Amino acid sequence: MQLLIRSARIVDAASSFDGQVCDILVDNGLIRQIGNNLPIDANVRVAEADNLHVSLGWVDMRVLTQDPGYEHKEDLTSVCRAAAAGGFTDIAVLPNTQPVVDAKGTLGYIQRMAEGQPVRVHVIAAVTKKAAGEDFTEMLDLHHAGAVAFSDGNHPLQNPDLLLKTLQYLQPVNGLLMNRPEETLLTRFGQMHEGIQSTLLGLKGIPALAEELMIERDLRLLDYVSAGQTETQEPECGFSPALHFSTISTGRSVELIRQAKAKGSPVSCDVAAHQLVFDDSALSDFDTNLKVNPPFRSVDDVRALWDGLKDGTIDAIVSDHTPHDPECKNLEFDQADFGIIGLETVFSNAVMHNQDLPLPQLIEKLTTRPRQILRLPVTAIAEGQPATLTLFDPAGSWTYDRTFSKSKNSPFLGQTLTGRVIGTVHRGQLTTTL
């Protein structure tokens, strides 16, 4: 069945139609024709809306599925439906399931369960067995089985020798190591950002230093590995970092990565969308839906994150989608688990709280850059290219009155938001929120 996207403004710097309002005809999973006033046959499905924009399909680099093992919180079907509702055509899922994705059997289970879903699921495999930070997994086998990257996910790599050897081990296959920077001995029992607010609220703080020390350490190790590299492999995507920092949160972290990039280090990073919205003053009501790790930092840190997005230091915006059931959240603040669901609200968060980041640059953080980092094919909105697209209205308002996630741990439920997803096109099929 054919699909005609009518009068949509194309947002894709790599497309010759960038910035133009055009019709796009999709047939058999490919973009067949782009033009104005394209004719409509009787069997053509039409997608149209006021202020319609279209870009390459959005990619979320950090999603916790909870499947296998914790399907009462989320399963692969519900997480894919939530992702599509949020405008994503591709998601990269963390290995922190039960069992952990540390062997081909679990990786294959996720790949099989993801077949036929409205989004494409890419699996991040564990660096160490059970993500315990001790013994290596069979990373080459997992790489050849389809793992797009390696990370212990919610468990930062504490052992510097493990991180060093992983970088060396993945180098011949142009593999990617992702690490969430946190020195856990400095954050034990921490509940929120360490500062004036944590003192006023009587909560143990999580110092910014814990993140920044790990970034400094990892960058030094990356320099050590890069110095011993004898041959530089030019990737097809044109940008292929060896080390990726997940969910950075402080201004000093941004500056450290900015300096590393300036001297040519193969490094990239992302920020969670909710980190662009809240600072630590938001926790004054002890809302456990706002308890996240890394925690909300200071107003100055939030400003520095936006500056990092604008100058290209921060490559991607992620949801850090972490579903939890009420038993994990309806507790005293210090007893509640960290994490919020975010797949459906990433775009609205970025639009509503935007600090002068142009829309094309914002879309790049959801499309081209994540694809390059994960070594996924980077295409353009052009005739003959695969039709993997996101339809949206950056000025449209909508009410977040329900979620496709099995969990409800979002501070945004019930609110009216700006930045509306109209639908996605994946494998030629339209999934619409209309």
Whole-angstrom distance, CA of residue 58 vs CA of residue 379: 12
Answer for the pair 64, 21: CB distance below 8 angstroms, yes or no: no
Whole-angstrom distance, CA of residue 109 vs CA of residue 105: 6
Whole-angstrom distance, CA of residue 195 vs CA of residue 35: 55
Q: Determine if the peptide bond prior to 294 is cis (ω within 30°).
A: yes
Query: Which residue among 67, 152, 320, 393 is the active-site one?
Result: 320
Amino acid of residue 119:
V
Nearest to 246 by CA among 335, 359, 154, 325: 154
- The Cα-based distances of 398 to 87, 328, 434 in angstroms read 14, 28, 11
Nearest to 12 by CA among 302, 387, 397: 387
Nearest to 197 by CA among 291, 279, 300: 279
Q: The tokens 């840190």 sit on which residue?
A: 301
List the beta bridge partners of residue 201: none
Answer for the pair 376, 148: CB distance below 8 angstroms, yes or no: yes
Q: Which residues contact 285 (CB under 8 A, 6 or more apart)?
A: none
Is residue 320 among the annotated active site residues? yes
Whole-angstrom distance, CA of residue 126 vs CA of residue 114: 19
Answer for the pair 123, 148: CB distance below 8 angstroms, yes or no: yes
Residue 130: exposure state from Cβ atoms within 10 A (0-12, 13-18, ≥19): middle
Whole-angstrom distance, CA of residue 41 vs CA of residue 4: 10
Whole-angstrom distance, CA of residue 94 vs CA of residue 151: 8
Q: DSSP letters along 179-191, please?
A: E----GGGTTT--
Residues forming the active site? 320
